[in-house]
Amino acid sequence: MDGTLVDSTALVESTWASFSERHGVSVAEVLEFAHGRPTRATVAHFVADPELAAAETQRLIAHEESETTGITEIPGARALLTSLPRGSWAVVTSAGRKLTEVRMAAAGLPLPEIIVSADEVERGKPDPEGYLRAAALLGVQPSDTIVFEDSGAGTRAGIASGARTVVIGSLDEFDGVADRYADLRAFRVDTEATDGVVLHAW
């Protein structure tokens, strides 16, 4: 979701900057680790005390769920999602379900019938659990799906799931392994194809 469908960059960066200041850690290191990972995983990585980490995680989640300033769609997201048939797509995100609903609404984007959030997996990205679960819920093989990602952790999860994985944004680590596009404006949906819903890019 974040960075692929929703642009929440300014809010995410300010949230983790405050966290870094509270705990005396490098904001650059926090942002690099946090991208594409659940909040709880990032906090646990930088805060050793389990009780403090749990309290900090709740604090961050509450802040994120109540703040929508500056949240917009990634260019092309609304057009793409509204052209997809219901039941043909899912959101697999390292955000919690409530935060997913808040940010998608703030960006003016529709919600799919299937959401696999950080609340619903045991192992977050880069583990492929979320994408494998989404494919199962959609009733298709992972190899028949396309994963859109913007982070290293998420892209690794998509590739590991067996899906065709497409990078959205500037991440060039996977060039030669995954196709990369600046945003979602390059895609259109063909619902008349004989082999099901087909996504074209140019």
Tokens of 169: 């944004």
Could you read off the pLDDT of 61-97 as tens digits, one per residue? 898 888 898 899 999 999 999 999 999 999 999 999 9
CATH class of domain segment(s) 1-202: alpha beta
H or E element at residue 84: none
**17 pLDDT higher than 90:** yes
The ranges assigned to domains in the chain are 1-202
**196 pLDDT higher than 70:** no
Could you read off the pLDDT of 121-175 as tens digits, one per residue? 999 999 999 999 999 999 999 999 999 999 999 999 999 999 999 999 999 999 9
Q: How far is CA 75 from the centre of its chain?
A: 15
Mean pLDDT of the chain: 92
Total-model pTM: 0.81
**Helices 50-66 & 97-106, crossing angle to 10 degrees?**
30
